[in-house]
Chain A
Amino acid sequence: MMLRSLYLKTVRDRWVSALIGVGSLFLIAWMVLAVYGGLDSEAVDVFESLPPAYLSLIGIPADSGSAGLAISMLFNFIGPFVIAGIAVSMGSAAIAGEERDGTMNLLATVPRSRSRILRSKTAGVLTIVVGMTTISWLSYLAAIAITGSDTGSLNLIAATVQVGAVAILYGSVALAIGAGTGNQALASGVAVAFIVVSFLGAGLLPLIDGWADWAKIFPWYYISGSQPLNNGVDWTQVAGLLGIAIILYVLAWWGFNRRDVQSGGARAPMLERLRSNPHLAKAFALLSGSGSVRSIASRAFTDLRALLVIAGFGVLFMGFVVGVMFPSISDSVGGLVDSMPESVLAMVGFADFSTATGWYFGEMLTILAPIAVSVVAISAGVALAGEEKNRTIGVLLGTPTSRNKVARGKAIAVIFGSVVVGFATFAGIALGNLAASLEMSYWNIAAAGLLLVGLGMVLGAAAFLGGALTGKTSVALGAGVGLAVLGWGMNSFLPINPDLANWAKISPFYYYSGENPLEEGMNWGHMGVLLAIAAVLTLVGILAYNRRDLRG
């Protein structure tokens, strides 16, 4: 009862990007295992000396050695993000993507029911997600074999099953919203926000006394909540996750069958109603309105406003919350950390959560703040190629505007975007510092914000250069995200192995967080390196942009 050609097209459209996702997981697995493997027997000794409480916190059995630590990172952090991310992107595009592109008009006029179209699309999404999950498991096995790592009694299959079930659930959320409203942006936005909130909720709530059980309302919790690497598959959990996914599928079917098919992008009726409310209209105009038309730079900057509001308030809020949480968790985490030798803490990259500066560094500065600044700065950098992709460059350069000015305007937006996120990070941490009386130096907090601006400028400039050279947004995005992911990975994992530690210096993240600015204060040398890299990438980009044929 499936439409074979539609199913095959859905799979064919996405298998390459899915394979790239799995391929990068394999590379990260290889890198991480190689780094940890290089630590040899000394590390295993250290590992065995770790307190059982710590091992249980990160969900690995004691006999799995340092490789187990690496594997748990893949299963609990990077792996699910990549797989659930692709599930969401496919789920939201399944029905709503065809409507945005206007191709649903063609698809809906073939003599096949909407139910069959939905069924075939869903089967395609499921095939890719299940296939990706399976191949990711095989690639981890390959990485383990290549590096000759010993993973002891870790149950990789069980962890894979849990990750797959959670990814399917997130994909179903996106599918239901997309099929129900025809609004792809809404579907992927809500589902991605759900992933991020789940990740934070599942990770942070258990640290607070009396709140641990609330973590279970987030799907992310079920990736490692039952510690599948140790205990095998919790089939009740998997059945529950898949059951909810089926309910969401039924909702998608119900919604898709009873509404008008959209063409060329849709608006959710609920959003329309909110938009027409005079009190909210201003807020909506700010988020989705038109922005400035004064100049290229101001327009490029205001084009970022939705991202800026989300990322800016995100880091502001998190900066505050992380600080306020500290007093209530410092006792439990502090005790755990106190029981570990200093050398172990350094090796596992586990920041010293017993101090406010270490807690902020680990919870805020190493992952959250860089993600926020890279989303904004990379989007700003990609926008140069966006003018060509959207074919607006013709009209733009029909005015007496030089290519230099266009490129400069976009580059300025990278800087301003990074500055806003850097300032919001500073403000958030400063507020948390004040509210919880943590007594960190405000100068050092400012230093962290400033270095974050530098990092954002480098990542945005990489995207800018990619777009300036080729005019392709995919290349621009790849350059920015690639540098962010690789740079983050190198700076996070290479220093663990003393033989490779120096190589971390080729990562821009080293100059951002090679040392904790909240403790060490401003490192102007590092800031200088970041600014110099950003300047060189931008200048080369502007030169290249002036020289080539424009697309579109």
Chain B
Amino acid sequence: MNDSLAIETIGLTKKFGNFTAVDDVSLQIQRGEIFGFLGPNGAGKSTTIKSILDLIRPTTGECRVLGLDSRADAVEIRRHLGFLPADLALYPSLTGKQTLAYLGHLRGGVDWKWIDQLAERFDADLSKKISEYSSGNRQKVGLIQAFMHKPQVLILDEPITGLDPLVQLEFHTLMREHVSQGNTVFLSSHTISEVERVADRVGFIRRGHLIAVETMSELHDKALGRITLEFAEPVPASVFEGIEGVHEVTTEGPTVTAQYEGSMAPLLKVATEREVVSVSSASVDLDEIFLEFYRDEVQAADAAASDGGEGAAA
């Protein structure tokens, strides 16, 4: 299993009754990368993860972790895997330390020095009972148990829920350290900024369909900017159409909003021919980039989902 992919899904499909939560998803995640798995609520992120972990079984298709089959080799896979579930639940009557001891025993022992280091880095108090923790402190215990055995593959489902910004920062540092040692992180999130900050590649899932997988650098090249210009008097949208790199223009009285790709110089050149009162600009969210660049795929996914009947995705 030395040179196999870290995680691979092959035509993964999961149906719950008539509802297709995940439809023919094929992913290849390399070793040593942070893979961001992005999509709105109910898109099929958690269903994909649960299939990889053998908590649920694919209707068709298969999942492999480190070259091992997710069903036949489930126990062997989990030896090399750390998992943080979304909406984490732990045993209320155990303290943080006992929780880690329990899960550690089930792993056949863990390095407590490393756990102490992790606890220190996350500023986690392990002496209290889980039932007495705030959700953020509980999440810290969840993160520690995922990292505590230095797993080759880490699957994290919405990991920063409830964490304060300082701890988030420490978590991101830890994640990069972990990957620099040749390990892999599969990071599922609907928080765009987090994925943007840490991921090497990003997969975008919508209504159970994998729309696209892009490297972060490609995405940055595609990155759309959004500029809002306020003029002294109303300007028709047609003035800005056809300018190089400009994607979409909307006007509201004297205010013009445009999305553009690459340099904003050509747009500004046209704009400054008139009296500009104010200018503001911002980058566009990742999911908007996906929606813009993969319009056809998104529409196909939406149409397929509507045909297959509606329901709640896991």
Contacts and interface: CB of A to CB of B under 8 A. Distances in A.
Given A290-B98, A295-B105, A395 B55 contact: no
A112 interface: no
A294 interface: yes
Contacts of B83: 394-395, 398
A242 interface: no
Nearest to A303: B93
Contacts of B85: 391, 394-395, 398
B95 A290 contact: yes
Interface string A286-320: 00111101111001000100000000000000000
Interface string B92-105: 01110011011101
Interface stretch (B71-79, B165-173, B265-273): B71-79
Given A393-B55, A395-B145, A400 B76 contact: yes
Contacts of B94: 290, 293
B93 A288 contact: yes
Given A265-B131, A394-B83, A395-B142, A295 B106 contact: yes
A403 B78 CA distance: 12
Most A CB atoms within 10 A — which of B57, B93, B106? B106
Interface in B125-179: 129, 131, 142, 145-146
A397 B54 contact: yes
A384 to B, nearest CB: 15
A294 B102 CA distance: 6
B54 A299 contact: no
B164 to A, nearest CB: 20
Contacts of B55: 393-394, 397, 549-550
Nearest to B88: A395
Nearest to B57: A549
A391 B56 CA distance: 14
A400 B79 contact: yes
A402 interface: yes
A400 B98 contact: no
B91 interface: yes
A399 B78 contact: yes
B202 interface: no
Given A397-B55, A398-B82, A400-B107, A391 B98 contact: no
A466 to B, nearest CB: 20
B89 A391 contact: yes
Contacts of A291: 93
B223 interface: no
B87 to A, nearest CB: 7
B81 interface: yes
Nearest to A302: B93
Tell me if B's interface is mostly helix, strand, loop or mixed.
mixed
A396 interface: yes
Nearest to B81: A398
B90 interface: yes
B154 to A, nearest CB: 10
A549 B58 CA distance: 9
Nearest to B107: A399
B211 interface: no
A395 B107 contact: no
Given A290-B95, A293-B101, A550-B55, A399 B87 contact: no
A403 B106 CA distance: 13
Most A CB atoms within 10 A — which of B76, B91, B108? B91
Given A293-B105, A392-B91, A402 B75 contact: yes
A395 B93 contact: no
A390 interface: yes
B53 interface: yes
A396 B102 CA distance: 9
Contacts of B57: 548-549
Contacts of B95: 290
Nearest to A288: B93
Contacts of A343: none
A90 B40 CA distance: 39
Contacts of A403: 74
B53 A397 contact: yes
A394 B142 CA distance: 11
A401 interface: yes
Contact of A397 (B78, B82, B84, B129): B78
A289 B93 CA distance: 7
Given A393-B55, A394-B83, A395-B83, A400 B93 contact: no
A495 B193 CA distance: 72
A390 B93 CA distance: 12
B78 A401 contact: yes
A400 B87 CA distance: 21
B106 A296 contact: yes
Nearest to A398: B83
Interface string A303-345: 1000000000000000000000000000000000000000000
Contacts of B99: 293
Contacts of A295: 105-106
A264 B135 CA distance: 12
A268 B89 CA distance: 25
Interface string A500-534: 00000000000000000000000000000000000
A264 B138 CA distance: 14
A393 B78 CA distance: 14
Given A391-B85, A391-B87, A397-B54, A293 B102 contact: yes
B122 to A, nearest CB: 17
A393 B83 CA distance: 12
Most B CB atoms within 10 A — which of A296, A398, A401? A398
A396 B145 CA distance: 11
A306 to B, nearest CB: 10
Nearest to B106: A399
Nearest to B157: A394
Contact of A390 (B76, B78, B89, B98): B89
A396 to B, nearest CB: 7
A403 B72 CA distance: 12
Contact of B103 (A391, A399, A402): A399
Contacts of B56: 549-550
Given A394-B55, A397-B78, A290 B93 contact: yes
Given A395-B83, A399-B78, A552-B89, 16 more contacts: A289-B93, A290-B129, A291-B93, A299-B102, A393-B55, A394-B50, A395-B90, A395-B103, A395-B142, A397-B54, A398-B53, A398-B78, A398-B85, A398-B145, A400-B78, A550-B55
User: Which 4 pairs from chain A and chain B are nearest by CB?
Assistant: A398-B83, A293-B102, A394-B85, A549-B56
27 contacts: A290-B93, A293-B94, A293-B102, A293-B105, A295-B106, A296-B106, A303-B93, A390-B89, A390-B91, A392-B89, A394-B53, A394-B89, A395-B88, A395-B89, A395-B103, A396-B103, A397-B54, A397-B55, A398-B78, A398-B81, A398-B82, A398-B83, A399-B103, A400-B106, A400-B107, A402-B75, A548-B57
